[in-house]
Every structure is written in structure tokens, then in C-alpha cells.
């Protein structure tokens, strides 16, 4: 049996704090969820949504019950393939297009196909994915297709200079494309220092009073297969212009980054990881720096948090996941709900569930 997780959830509607104990075999029975799972035939998580050809395509990870005991390195997240989903309209039925890419068809791959993303350019769709190589080191691969639903064919090698997890790809108004990536703990970002991998690295884990590890950002070349220049830090600063510190777990970057542009400003959004908030920081450039602006989603039921944000037919939406269907943190389901930008540029808070009395 999975160990019990005691997590702090804030109930925005009541303005109260409560503790909800969620286990693999027992979960709260009286919960009202904000949204319904998009599909129920498979478990999906980490949804990266995009609008292609007037339709929403969702690129999630595909959770399976691999029978691996849960641990902090995330070995129990043993995904082996990707299914792509699509929506003609928000609130309408979701289509599961089947397997778009299988780990057995990735020449350099070892294990764990984690959260992917996608992009389009010049008639080709690109699927970016994190995967451990045969030495158990995460890199980012890319696969291509002429159809947004796949199937996708993987390149023979990972992207040169790539590492860690959670690629998120953003194309600016001028056509320039950027990739944001990185995740701490199981995502191995803390193991990389000065461009080299160290299996025993403790970078950042015991550096509470030093600047925290940042998400990485890099421009992509026009072929969408290579980095164009060095990998940089997507630095998040506080209101005084100081980098967030390692001990600042409620605000610092941990994993699951995303970028969207709203009224000329760049909104860098991410998960705080071990505290499970979605946070955002705003910048004047897609490469930062970004100034921390607050939380915009309270912790979901299910411990992990990973999202994407899109505009569709003049309205904004956030895709996210929780564990409503299974009650297990490794078997999740994708959902969607509206996202609202306030008049002052902040983002309205979202609470994805309510505990009923």
C-alpha cells in the first residue's frame, strides 16, 4: 500500500485552512470537483494543450500502474507511450487518438516517458519529450509528424545539450521559438552544474539561503530540432529584484513550467513542486528575468501539479490534472477550466475542489 501523504490544501471559498489525508486506498468521499476528467478510458496527466487548425490538441503523459513502489525519485511514474487527445470545443467530448509514440520506437531511450509538449512550424508538428537514456539520465528528445495527432517518428538521438525534464515550447509573435525545461529531485535538474552531470550532486538541496535553482530556457533554431545558443536561467526575482532563495518553497520554481503571452507581457508559470501551488512571474522578455506575482491555483487533489494555458476563441483556459478517478497520485486524469486575467494583469485564483460538509 502506498504511504499516506498529508498535504495542506487551502479552501479559498471558506477562507479556511484544512488538512486532508489522501491515501491510495481511501480518499475523501464528499468532494465537489471544479471540472470533470476529459477522458476516463486511460489515465492521463501533465497536459500540454495547443490550438492547431482551429481545434485543441492535448499532449499529456500516459499514467500506468507499473507496480513500482512510490519513492521521491518518481520511479513509479513509469510511462511507456503517449496518447494525444483533441477537443473541438470546451465542454465537448474528447477524442483519444491512440498511441502517438512508444518508448520501444525511440532508439536512444531507456525508461520513463514523462511530460511532453508540442509545436508546429512550416508544415511539421514537433513532439518534445523527456526520457531517460540507457544510463538512466534524463534528456529531451524530439519526434515529428505531418499530423498533430501523430503518429510521431523520433529522432535517433536526444537534442544536443538537453537535460532534465518538462519541456515547454513557446513561439513568440515574431516567429522565434523558445524551450523552457527542468525539474528538481526526480527530474535531475539539481544534478547538473556547470553543464556536467553528477549523480551524487546535492546542488540546491541544502542551500536554503542561496538563490534557488532556476528553470532553464533556450532559443530553438529554425529547424526546431536544435538549440540556438547557450542554455540560460529563467530567473525569478522577488519584488525587490532579488532572486528567490532555495528555502522559499511556496514561491520558487520546482518543475512544470509554461509560458503564455498576455497584453505584451510574458507570463512564466510553474509548479512549486513540494508545496504544490501553481505560481506565476511576469517579464518583458521570453528569456526573463521574471518578477514573481503570486499563486493562481491552489493544490489539486493528488499531490502533483502540472498545467498548460491557452487562448481559444477569445477565452483563456488552463489544463491540469488531479486523481479524482483513482485516488492514486500516480494514476491521474486531465481536466480543463477557464482562466481569468484581472484588469491589473494578475491572474484570478483557482480552487479545483471543495470539501463538502
Q: Judge contact between 233 and 244, C-beta under 8 A.
A: no
Contact between 325 and 302 (Cβ < 8 Å): no
Which residues pair with residue 67 across a beta bridge? none
Helix (H, G, I), strand (E, B) or coil at 186: helix
Element (H, E) at 153: strand 153-154
> φ, ψ for residue 166 (rounded to 5)?
55, 55
C-alpha cell at 330: 500516480
Annotated catalytic residue 226 = no
Long-range contacts of 7-13 (CB under 8 A, 24+ apart): 7/276, 7/299, 7/303, 8/275, 8/299, 9/298, 9/299, 9/301, 10/298, 10/299, 10/351, 11/351, 11/354, 11/355, 12/298, 12/349, 12/351, 13/351, 13/354
Closest CA relative to residue 95, chosen from 137, 58, 47 = 58
Q: Is 255 one of the catalytic residues?
A: yes
Residues 6+ apart with CB under 8 A from 37: 324, 325, 333, 334, 335
Q: Which of 70, 117, 255, 322 is catalytic?
A: 255
Q: How far, in Å, CA of 77 to CA of 193, rounded?
A: 25
* Cell of residue 47, nine digits: 497536459
As annotated, the active-site residues are 46, 255
Amino acid at each position: 500500500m502506498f504511504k499516506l501523504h498529508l498535504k495542506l490544501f487551502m479552501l479559498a471559498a471558506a477562507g479556511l485552512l484544512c488538512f486532508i489525508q489522501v491515501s491510495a486506498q481511501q480518499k475523501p468521499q464528499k468532494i465537489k470537483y471544479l471540472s470533470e476528467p476529459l477522458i476516463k478510458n486511460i489515465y492521463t496527466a501533465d497536459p500540454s494543450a495547443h490550438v492547431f487548425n482551429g481545434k485543441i490538441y492535448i499532449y499529456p503523459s500516459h499514467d500506468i500502474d507499473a507496480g513500482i513502489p512510490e519513492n521521491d525519485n518518481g520511479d513509479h511514474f513509469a510511462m511507456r507511450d503517449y496518447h494525444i487527445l483533441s477537443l473541438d470545443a470546451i465542454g465537448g467530448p474528447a477524442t483519444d487518438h491512440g498511441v502517438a509514440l512508444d518508448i520501444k520506437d525511440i532508439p536512444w531511450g531507456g525508461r520513463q516517458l514523462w511530460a511532453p509538449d508540442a509545436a508546429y512550424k512550416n508544415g511539421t508538428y514537433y513532439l518534445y519529450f523527456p526520457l531517460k537514456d540507457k544510463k538512466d539520465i534524463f534528456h529531451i528528445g524530439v519526434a515529428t509528424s505531418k499530423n498533430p495527432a501523430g503518429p510521431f517518428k523520433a529522432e535517433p538521438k536526444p537534442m544536443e545539450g538537453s537535460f532534465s525534464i518538462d519541456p515547454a515550447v513557446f513561439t513568440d509573435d515574431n516567429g522565434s521559438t523558445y524551450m523552457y525545461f527542468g525539474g528538481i529531485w526526480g527530474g535531475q535538474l539539481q544534478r547538473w552544474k556547470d553543464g556536467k552531470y553528477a549523480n551524487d550532486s546535492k546542488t540546491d538541496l541544502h542551500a536554503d539561503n542561496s538563490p534557488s535553482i532556476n528553470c532553464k530556457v533556450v532559443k530553438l533554431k529554425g529547424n526546431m530540432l536544435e538549440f540556438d545558443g547557450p542554455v540560460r536561467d529563467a530567473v525569478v526575482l522577488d519584488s525587490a529584484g532579488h532572486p528567490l532563495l532555495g528555502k522559499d518553497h511556496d514561491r520558487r520554481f520546482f518543475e512544470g513550467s509554461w509560458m503564455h503571452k498576455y497584453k505584451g507581457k510574458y507570463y512564466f508559470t510553474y509548479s512549486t513542486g513540494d508545496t504544490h501551488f501553481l505560481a506565476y512571474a511576469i517579464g518583458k522578455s521570453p528569456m526573463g528575468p521574471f518578477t514573481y506575482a503570486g499563486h493562481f491555483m491552489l493544490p489539486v487533489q493528488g499531490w502533483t501539479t502540472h498545467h498548460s494555458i491557452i487562448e481559444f476563441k477569445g477565452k483563456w483556459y488552463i489544463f491540469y490534472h488531479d486523481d479524482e478517478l483513482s485516488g492514486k497520485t500516480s494514476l491521474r486524469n486531465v481536466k480543463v477550466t477557464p482562466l481569468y486575467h484581472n484588469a491589473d494583469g494578475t491572474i484570478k485564483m483557482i480552487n479545483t475542489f471543495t470539501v463538502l460538509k
